[in-house]
Structure 1
Amino acid sequence: MIPEIRQQYNESFSNEKYQALLAEIEKDFPSQLDFRVAETPVFVPQSLKIRLLQACNDIIDSLLKDDFKAWTIRAIPANQHVPNEDNHPNFLAIDFAVCRDENGDLTPQLIELQGFPSLYGYQWYIGQKYKKFFYNPKNFNQYFNRLNMATYVEFMKKVFLGGEKAENVILLEIYPEKQKTRLDFEITKQLWGIESVCYTKIKKDGRKLYYEKDGRKIKIKRIYNRLIFDDLLQNFPDLETDFKLTDDVDVKWVTHPNWFFRISKFTLPLLNSPFVPKSYYLSELKEYPADLENYVLKPLFSFAGSGVKLNFTKEDLDAIEDKENFLIQRKVKYEPIIKDPDGNLIKTEIRMLFAWEDSAPRPTLVTNLARLSRGEMIGVNFNKNFDWVGGSCGFFED
């Protein structure tokens, strides 16, 4: 995106350096890396940065409207409603495709948003590795709001722990040691002392929750939630546990599970911004757009892109029985703007990562995540057997 920076980076790049980066990750965290690390960070010019910040503010303004909760109550399935919801999520992730506008300028277009945490530990870690092993231009930063590598850790500690002891805060997942994101869990433990605890290991006594460590029974006061209902219901429908997610228990959720549904694909039709493609609930369309080829079909309640259809017909839509669970969103055209050393062009998506302290009026933009793709869509299934794709980090021009 910044030709002179890209040229200098590519000239300094070597596969030996890339393999050394991967070897150091393996040394630091043996057998924990389970997703592809892209060969390059994304260098974001100031002009695109300004637009990304504007786009995020437009979206957050919509989330803060007085009637937002009333509009999104039906997003929460009745059998998955968790008691004791708070006023806002503790985390917000907003995904943008990098595109070009009618003037040829780089511009973001919203792809998805989540009231759910992302890789807050891993991004801190991988940003340092890119700087260590590859060309590191001056005046570029992966953090926002005057944060740096150290103050980011301190800020996130306040959000995660909320003043509690680290041993009373857990990271909740189902079989965390098997998850593709387990590297992030391990880094989270090293940075903030938060143990990853399997859903099946939690014990309940009245409204209180406990886990065991080193033969001790430890009370849980805050749950850093990484468990997704959709994953649980689809992959473990008959799982018997002492604690059910929908139980009324004496803990602070970080983030409360209801926000996974409220701030999600369900929210897209409620947003109005030049950086948000038009979206429509399928159940509320009296007639379909004439140019369906310019839309993508998305299930409202799925994760990690499952169920998304890029190509479909009117007949396909008519055949959907539960139309209330789907939307159509106008397609965006990713602009391939990252050039690899062989001259191939690569698409990118940037996820802006926010953290929201319990008492704060607005979330704070803290860092970012980037993903590179040669395929039709961003994601592992569309990028098999390619290089210069996968998870990355954006460095933004000051």
Structure 2
Amino acid sequence: MITAVRTSYNKQFTPAKYKQFLAGIAQDAGIAPAFRIAETPVFIPAALSTKLVQACEEIVNVILRPDFKTITTDAIPAALKVPHENDHPHFIVIDFAVCKAEDDSLIPQLIELQGFPTMYAFQEVMARQFKEHFDIPASLNNFFNDLDETSYYQVLREMIIGDCAPEEVILLEVKPEEQKTRIDFYSTEKALGIKTVCLTKLIQDGKKLFYERDGIKTPIRRIYNRIIFDDLQQQSATLGEHVNLFQDLDVEWITHPNWFYRISKYMMPFIHSEYVPKSWFLHELPVIPADLENYVLKPLFSFAGQGVQIDVTPEDIDKIKDPENWILQHKVKYAPAIETPTGSAICEIRMMYIWADGAARPVLVHNLARISKGKMIGVGFNNKDTWVGGSCCFFEFE
């Protein structure tokens, strides 16, 4: 997107460098990624950087509304509510498509948002390996708010571990060894000294939870939660015996599972910004638009793009039995903004926040990118192309 940087990067790129870059990631993390890593980062020009930050802060302002919990009461499915919800999420991620405005300038358009942690440890690993193996201009930065590699991990450590001993904190997932994001679990363990634990390995004694660490029954004070609870509910019957996480437990959640639902697509009809597509709850839609080809239908309770209907018809809307669980959103048109040696690509940018207890606002800290040449943007949909996949951004600021 920064023409001079893009041209220079494409010229310096070689398959050998890319191979060394991937090997560097695997060595750093201790495991090779289970998803495709793109051959390039995304270079964000100052004008788009400013718009992205502005869009994020406008969304944060909605989350800071005094009545936010009231307007999102119905966001949490009754069967998925977890006790002891705290005042705010510790992590927020906000996804934008890179699009073009009428004047041909690049603008962000909100796609999704979550009160949930993403690849916080691994994204720094990836950015660092890009800088080690390719010529990334020093004027561009993958961090925000004056953070660097050292201070970033310090912020992450304070958020996840806090005043606990590392052995009292676990990263919790269902079948972590099978997750495509497991490289982030390895990176988190390496950076913070905490262990990744499968739900089925938890030990309950009254309200307290334990796990085995080096053969020793160890108490758990904090859970760095990576479980998506509607996914857990779908596969719960196949997991065998495991702790019921929906009960009253003496444990601190980082971040509490309820925030995954409050800060989600459910928020979109409440956000009024030029960077947020117009959205309606389907059961509140006054009339079906005549130009349905310009809209997308999204389920409120799903992940990884499951259930999203891109080519919507009136019949699709009529078939939906639970319209209160769907939104109709104005379709976003991605711009082919990244020039690669094998053709133009589109991308999404994830802006990553951390919100410390007691802080007035969350702080923007890092980013993630997905690059695609197909209709679907997720890394799982781009297995046959090159110069696509998971990536990160380097931002220019004025």
- TM bucket by the smaller chain? over 0.9
Counterpart-to-counterpart distance in 2, 1:384 and 1:79: 36
- Who is 2:120 aligned against? 120
**Stretch moving more, 84-93 or 16-25:** 16-25
Query: Does 1:336 pair with 2:336?
Result: yes
Task: Go from structure 1 to structure 2 and tell me whether the alpha carbon gap of 1:30 and 1:365 turns closer, same or farther (over 3 Å shift).
Answer: closer
**Residue 185 of structure 1 aligns to a residue in which SS?**
helix
Counterpart-to-counterpart distance in 1, 2:50 and 2:332: 20
Deviations 1:261-289 (A, max 9, x none): 11111111111111000011111113211
Give the TM-score of the pair, scaled to structure 2.
Answer: 0.97
- Who is 2:78 aligned against? 78
Task: Go from structure 1 to structure 2 and tell me whether the alpha carbon gap of 1:122 and 1:29 turns closer, same or farther (over 3 Å shift).
Answer: closer
- Who is 1:351 aligned against? 350
**Stretch moving more, 29-38 or 144-153:** 29-38
**Residue 72 of structure 2 aligns to a residue in which SS?**
helix
Instruction: Give, in angstroms, the shift of residue 214 of structure 1.
Output: 1.4
Instruction: Give, in angstroms, the shift of residue 31 of structure 1.
Output: 4.6
Check whether the contact 1:90–1:255 (CA below 8 A) recurs between aligned residues.
yes
Counterpart-to-counterpart distance in 2, 1:102 and 1:272: 19
Percent identity for Structure 1 against Structure 2:
52
**Stretch moving more, 61-70 or 228-237:** 228-237
Deviations 1:97-133 (A, max 9, x none): 1111111111100000000000001001000110111
- Who is 2:395 aligned against? 396
Check whether the contact 2:21–2:129 (CA below 8 A) recurs between aligned residues.
yes
Check whether the contact 1:90–1:357 (CA below 8 A) recurs between aligned residues.
yes
Instruction: Give, in angstroms, the shift of residue 37 of structure 1.
Output: 0.4
- Who is 1:372 aligned against? 371
Check whether the contact 1:204–1:242 (CA below 8 A) recurs between aligned residues.
no
| Counterpart residue identity of residue 89, structure 1 | P
**Stretch moving more, 7-16 or 281-290:** 281-290
| Counterpart residue identity of residue 202, structure 2 | I
Stretches of structure 1 lacking an aligned partner (at least 5 in a row) = none
Counterpart-to-counterpart distance in 1, 2:221 and 2:275: 39
Counterpart-to-counterpart distance in 1, 2:67 and 2:302: 24
Instruction: Give, in angstroms, the shift of residue 362 of structure 1.
Output: 0.8
Written as runs of structure 1 = structure 2, the 5 A alignment for 1:1-398 is 1-29=1-29, 31-342=31-342, 344-398=343-397
Instruction: Give, in angstroms, the shift of residue 234 of structure 1.
Output: 2.2
CA RMSD in angstroms comes to 1.2
Instruction: Give, in angstroms, the shift of residue 238 of structure 1.
Output: 4.2
Counterpart-to-counterpart distance in 2, 1:121 and 1:155: 11
Counterpart-to-counterpart distance in 2, 1:264 and 1:281: 13
Task: Go from structure 1 to structure 2 and tell me whether the alpha carbon gap of 1:125 and 1:31 turns closer, same or farther (over 3 Å shift).
Answer: closer
Task: Go from structure 1 to structure 2 and tell me whether the alpha carbon gap of 1:185 and 1:129 turns closer, same or farther (over 3 Å shift).
Answer: same
**Residue 377 of structure 1 aligns to a residue in which SS?**
coil
Stretches of structure 2 lacking an aligned partner (at least 5 in a row) = none
**Residue 143 of structure 1 aligns to a residue in which SS?**
coil
| Counterpart residue identity of residue 76, structure 1 | I
Task: Go from structure 1 to structure 2 and tell me whether the alpha carbon gap of 1:319 and 1:223 turns closer, same or farther (over 3 Å shift).
Answer: same
**Residue 233 of structure 1 aligns to a residue in which SS?**
helix
Check whether the contact 1:43–1:396 (CA below 8 A) recurs between aligned residues.
yes
Deviations 1:226-277 (A, max 9, x none): 0011221223334343421101011110010000111111111111111000
**Residue 87 of structure 2 aligns to a residue in which SS?**
coil
**Stretch moving more, 286-295 or 368-377:** 286-295
Check whether the contact 1:265–1:300 (CA below 8 A) recurs between aligned residues.
yes
Check whether the contact 1:32–1:182 (CA below 8 A) recurs between aligned residues.
no
Give the TM-score of the pair, scaled to structure 1.
Answer: 0.97
Counterpart-to-counterpart distance in 2, 1:30 and 1:144: 27
**Residue 324 of structure 1 aligns to a residue in which SS?**
helix
Instruction: Give, in angstroms, the shift of residue 145 of structure 1.
Output: 0.5
Instruction: Give, in angstroms, the shift of residue 26 of structure 1.
Output: 3.2
| Counterpart residue identity of residue 286, structure 1 | P
Check whether the contact 2:31–2:186 (CA below 8 A) recurs between aligned residues.
no
Q: How many residues align?
A: 397
